Structure 1
Amino acid sequence: MNELHLETSPYLLQHAKNPVHWKAWNTNALAQAQKENKLIIISIGYSACHWCHVMEHESFENDEVAQVMNAHFINIKIDREERPDIDAVYMKAVQVMTGQGGWPMNVVALPDGRPIWGGTYFRKNDWINALEKLQELYQHDLQTILDYTEKLHDGLQSLSIIPTHKATPFNFEILERLIEKWQKSFDWAFGGMARAPKFMMPNNYEFLLRYGHQTNNQSLLDFVDLTLSKMAHGGLFDTLDGGFSRYAVDMKWHVPHFEKMGYDNGQLLSLYANAYKLTRNPLYQEVIEKTLSFIEKEWLTKEGSFYSALDADSLNAENHLEEGAFYVWTKEELQAILSEDYDLFAIVFNINPFGHWEHGNYVLIQNQSLAIIAQQQNISLETLEQKKKSWEQKLYKEREKRSKPRLDDKCLTSWNAIILKGFTEAYKALNEKNI
């Protein structure tokens, strides 16, 4: 084992058996880099991150990669949820260098910690080639690296400087201009922004909901309603057990990276609660109640705090970790479980090309409300609602037999505060004392 076996973070412990000589971020590791005059590899991720697992399997578990990393570098692993302060510094550097960011995030830095190169996910051969070239440059052309590092450092410093000038009085014209520009990016087919991947960004819709209500802007309110409804009907929301995945990779909120994060679900509880206060939309109530139930069941500790996340990956039938294995269904599985109700279920949840993901797997998604489907199928709405509940209960019981996604059992104060705020907003919206 490497030094990470001494840590408590689930993410760091996942890497404890890697052949890479990982160290945690601490004074000893940083002092060793300066004493031995070695470049530092700083690799940042989190336990529920799918692409972090992919890069670990492809590179960090590989002896050839480990040999390169161990020979020339001090290798430091960081849990971005445990050390958001360090993550923020190197994320800004990666965004300046590459124009984008994300996790896993991998940075090479000078012995004093100043970044010289970085990015996100790298394939094995690309990773090896980059490290070998950087080490060669460090040995034979150090001045070029130092010149670049200084320019990067100056650029990062300039981003941090807040210009000193007198504050201008606030007026709504500023918001009106913002909204006018923002609306050009609205997706009026599926809600959210007209791009993929689609992140939920709850604060954005909290703002649009409040602004639309205060200014009587029905168009904005309609857009928020469209977005919240499409998110609730999409595969992003776990209709069987509640809770939202982190984001969708497509335009229609259908296929997520399946990790469920505490900070997302806490903020979304607040958002749907405030939207329910305004609309009394029963779909929002369903989302709130299911998400509350999910959080209490999966994340509430005996001490009354909340765990952090569920992984995107879980063990499949062949006992291999696979993204989404816990959540997806084949047509044959659904037919066996639902029998004579399968045809109607397939209409509601799109067991068809619209709902197909890959390799014969389906991620449940609605593209019409139950009211419209009931009318089209010439059955009462009440009957369809009861059938949907019954289907979800059957599938939930069957799904519980599968291997569950791994749990990140950190309890973060800030995320707990976000979740508790969500519970508070849910109580105020639903006025149920048992929340």
Structure 2
Amino acid sequence: MNRLRWSRSPYLLQHAENPVDWYEWGDDAFAAARESDRPVLLSIGYAACHWCHVMAHESFEDPELAAVVNEHFVAVKVDREERPDVDAVYMQATQALTGHGGWPMTVFLTPDRQPFYAGTYFPPTPRHGLPAFGELLEAVGAAWRDRRSEVLTSAGSIVSQLAERAVTAMPGEVGPEDLDHAMALLRADFDPLHAGFGGAPKFPPSMALEALLREGGEDATLMAGRTLDAMARGGLYDQLGGGFARYSVDAAWVVPHFEKMLYDNALLLGVCTHGWRRTGSPLAARVVEETVAWLVREMRTEEGGFAASLDADSADGEGRLHEGAFYVWTPAQLRAVLGDDDGTWAAGALSVIDAGTFERGASTLQLLADPDPERWARVRAALLAAREERPRPGRDDKVVAAWNGWLVDALVQAATVFDRPDWLEHARDAAALVWRLHRQDGRLRRTSRRGVVGGAPGILEDYAAQALAATRLAAALRDPVWLARARELLEDVLELFDDDGAGFFDTAADAERLFARPQDPTDNATPSGLSSAVHALRLFAELTGEDAWAERADRAAASAGGLVRQAPRYAGWLLADAVSRLRGIPVQVAVVGPAGPDRDTLVSTAHRHVPAGSVVVAGLGDDDGFALLADRQARDGRPTAYVCRHFVCRLPVTSPEELVAQLQT
């Protein structure tokens, strides 16, 4: 066992028995590098990463290669999900040096933490134009030993060039013409055959879909609806257990990269809920129901939070780790579980063919058309039960503050739209865990595991996502405690992350100083810290009516508004915010009067029909801490709804029909 045996990260624990003498990221590792005059081998990955496992088995578990590493380098292993700040700055270096990035990421550093060589996966023998990992170690070691001055000069030059090339936020306030241009770019990039954007590999465009649903025009709704349907019917979606895989390796959504990430499912849960609210799609409703069931069944931790991911790999029938082994089927396997009649029917319904759509004659499961519901329910239950007997993928059970925040935000929306108080309780439990455990000494920590908080500090996305979640809970529960927590987190955002301009840095002002301070306004697999902060500030302003928060959201959005016009796929949440702001979409709905079925019906109606970004609060009126309820009176003692914009309200109504009519206009 090496030093990683003391780690709280499941990814680092996967490497605790390597013969490599790993350090965790920290001063001790770099002090050892200076004292021994060795360069640092930095390896960054995450627990569900297939190619991280491959390189570990091929190289880091090899005693001979490990001996070379231990003799000539100080080896540092980083969980990118635990330390996204470290990952961000060295990914920038890797992309600059190689033209691409990915994980596992392999970077060689000076003892002063400056990068001088980088790559991603390296095989044990030369192939596909990549050197063998052992050859690379020898070459880098020789360069450090024999051409030290060149290496140090190169490292200094790389750092200087990266500082000059720092991500430009492309400032500019988004106007109506910019919206039109962004929508035109999305239409041009839309795949008319398979839906989604671009070609293979194809990722769930969660943030762009939210923008399209808010825009609500015919083209926008069609692109969003077709993409949601294609993802939900294809192999990307787990047709038996619910939940989405990370991405599709092909353009047609047939074969996923099988890891399941909490953040993808949080964001897609929100988009599917929004899609159902706009279109009433039965498929969207089914996906929401099944995905929440999967989250609660497989991802909820004993402490009430939600785990980070499920691995892509699991043991196959011969006990060997193989990507997707848990999820794929052959026609023979279907018949063995279901019998010949149902097995043949299921193979046709799920696109399981003799040749296979994946590897080794196996197929992913697709549900391209709606089958007979009773027969499908019976078949699905039988297959799911049989699948539970297979070796399960590993679970990274750490709780990540930002990812749980995005999930709570989506889960509260789903709970209120579909009238599921049990989902609301799960959302509250997760948010309460993060507040109780991750909030230490007035600051937010990034991760916890099994009830023990980690040492990594929270970054901008953690604070913003948790503030967004707390605001949603405050409105749904009419709870001033959550309102106060949201305010506290947003005050932290302004104090710790402000860039002395209009935008925000991704790390706090007193965080560890890396060779660059991360500040990336682009949405990638998750919303950027900036766009998350904009959404949190905007929603809090809607709930409280305090204009200062909306004004700060405006300034932050304008710090990167050029991205919306030039690259809307990578600024989806900023585009969604611009649509809401320019179209005046969000409203506030106050429902006042005695609790009971009549008030519940008005509240449920409001949640199902309000546009995105809106808030709904219910109470007796004049509730402490909720300005929206102040001075609102129930008419004739009956529960009454007030539809407001900027806290200016229309005439109060007492029937669901009148409320729907006001919300539709």
Q: TM-score, normalised by structure 2?
A: 0.61
After superposition, the Cα gap between the structure-2 partners of 1:74 and 1:169, relative to the gap in structure 1 and judged at 3 Å, is closer
Shift of 1:353: 6.8
Pairs within 5 Å for 1:215-230: 216=217, 218-230=218-230
Which of 364, 389, 403 is equivalent to 1:415? 403
Aligned to 1:148: 154
Contact 1:2–1:22 (CA<8 Å) still a contact in 2? yes
Deviation of 1:67 after TM superposition, in Å, equals 1.8
Alignment partner of 2:358: what SS? Answer: strand
The 1-side partners of 2:158 and 2:323 are apart by: 36
Give how far 1:410 is off: 0.6
Deviation sequence 1:76-107 (CA, Å, 0-9, x none): 00011111111111111111111211111110
Rounded Cα–Cα distance in structure 1 between residues aligned with 2:166 and 2:19: 38
- 2:525 maps to none
RCO higher in structure (CA 8 A, sep ≥6):
1
Establish whether residue 159 from structure 1 lines up as the match of residue 165 from structure 2.
Answer: yes
TM alignment of 1:76-91, pairs within 5 A: 76-91=76-91
2:76 aligns to what SS in structure 1? strand
| Corresponding residue number in structure 2 for 1:296 | 296
Look up the SS of the partner of 2:117 in the other structure.
strand
- Cα offset for 1:354? 8.7
**Residue 403 of structure 1: aligned partner:** 391
SS at match of 1:85: helix
1:4–1:390 Cα change, 3 Å: same
Amino acid aligned to 2:402: S
Q: Could you tell me which amino acid in structure 1 is paired with residue 11 of structure 2?
A: Y
Question: Partner letter of residue 224 of structure 2?
Answer: V
Q: Residue in 2 aligned with 1:64?
A: 64
Q: Verify the 8 A CA contact 2:331 2:354 in the aligned structure 1.
A: no
1:111 is aligned to 111
User: 1:200-230 deviations in whole A, cap 9, x for unaligned?
Assistant: 131121112212x1xx2x1221111111001
- Aligned CA distance change for structure 1 residues 124 and 303 (closer, same or farther; 3 Å): same
1:394 matched to 2:382: yes
Residue in structure 2 matched with residue 99 of structure 1 by the alignment: 99
Q: Which residue of 2 aligns with 1:235?
A: 235
Match of 2:555 in 1: none
Match of 2:145 in 1: 139
Aligned counterpart for 1:426 among listed residues 397, 400, 414: 414
User: Does structure 2 conserve the Cα–Cα contact (< 8 Å) formed by 1:12 and 1:79?
Assistant: yes
Could you tell me how far apart the structure 1 residues matched to 2:172 and 2:365 are? 49
2:345 aligns with: 344
2:195 aligned with 1:194: no
Cα deviation, residue 154, structure 1: 1.6
Matched position secondary structure for 1:4: helix
> How many residues are matched?
416
Residue 6 of structure 1 is matched in structure 2 by 6
Alignment correspondent of 1:52: 52
Q: Bigger radius of gyration, 1 or 2?
A: 2
1:178–1:74 distance in 2 versus 1, CA, 3 Å: same
Partner amino acid, structure 2, of 1:68: V
Deviation at 1:239, TM superposition (A): 1.2
SS at match of 1:358: coil
After TM superposition, the structure 1 stretch with the greater mean CA deviation from structure 2, 55-64 or 147-156, is 147-156
2:246 is matched with which residue? Answer: 246
The CA deviation at 1:319 is 1.8
SS in 2 for 1:20: coil
Aligned-pair distance for 1:169? 4.5
Asked whether 1:179 is paired with 2:183, we answer: yes
Partner Cα distance (2:31, 2:334) in 1 = 57
CA distance in 1, matches of 2:13, 2:174: 49
Q: What are the superposed Cα offsets for residues 111-163 of structure 1, whole Å, 9 maximum, x if unpaired? A: 11101111111101321111211111111122222232222112211233758
* Residues 228-260 of structure 1: CA deviation (Å, up to 9, x unaligned): 001001111111111111111111111112111
Matches of 2:311 and 2:157 in 1, distance apart?
38
**1:378 paired residue number:** none
What secondary structure is seen at the aligned counterpart in 1 of 2:422? coil
Secondary structure class of the residue paired with 1:43? strand
Deviation at 1:36, TM superposition (A): 1.5
Alpha-carbon distance, 1:355 to partner: 5.8
Tell me the distance in 2 between the aligned counterparts of 1:161 and 1:188.
32
What are the residue-to-residue correspondences of 1:257-336 with 2, within 5 Å?
A: 257-336=257-336
TM-score, normalised by the number of residues in structure 1: 0.92
**3-state DSSP class of the match of 2:391?**
coil
CA contact (8 A) 1:241 1:294 kept: yes
1:17 aligns with 2:17: yes
Describe the SS at the equivalent of 1:160. coil
Deviations 1:159-204 (A, max 9, x none): 33758x9x65431212222222332221111111231111113112
Q: How far is 1:32 from its partner?
A: 0.8
**Are residues 28 and 121 of structure 1, via their aligned partners in 2, closer, same or farther at CA, if it must alter by over 3 Å?**
same
- Is the Cα–Cα contact under 8 Å of residues 197 and 205 in structure 2 kept in the other structure? no
CA gap of 1:187–1:161, structure 2 versus 1, over 3 A, is: closer
The residue type equivalent to 2:203 in the other structure is F
Amino acid at match of 1:364: L
- AA in 2 matched with 1:394: A
Q: State how far apart, in whole Å, the 2-side matches of 1:13 and 1:342 are.
A: 41
Q: Residue 210 of structure 1 aligns with which residue?
A: 214
RMSD: 1.7
Q: Is the 8 A contact 2:330 2:356 kept in 1?
A: no
Structure 2 spans left out of the alignment, 5+ residues: 126-131, 424-665
Q: Deviations over 1:243-278 (max 9, x none)?
A: 111111111111112111111111111010011100
Whole-Å separation in 2 of the counterparts to 1:341 and 1:409: 36
- State how far apart, in whole Å, the 1-side matches of 2:176 and 2:122 are: 45
Which residue identity is paired with 1:304? G
Aligned-residue sequence identity (percent) comes to 39
Contact map agreement 1:2 1:17 (CA 8 A) in 2: yes
Query: Shift in Å at residue 338 of structure 1?
Result: 2.3
Residues 306, 135 of structure 1: CA spacing in aligned structure 2 closer, same or farther, 3 A cutoff?
same
Q: Look up the match of 1:357.
A: 358
Displacement of 1:283 in angstroms is 0.3
CA 1:401–1:162: 2 relative to 1, 3 Å: closer
Amino acid at match of 2:349: V
Q: Is the 8 A contact 1:65 1:124 kept in 2?
A: no
Paired letter, 1:20: V
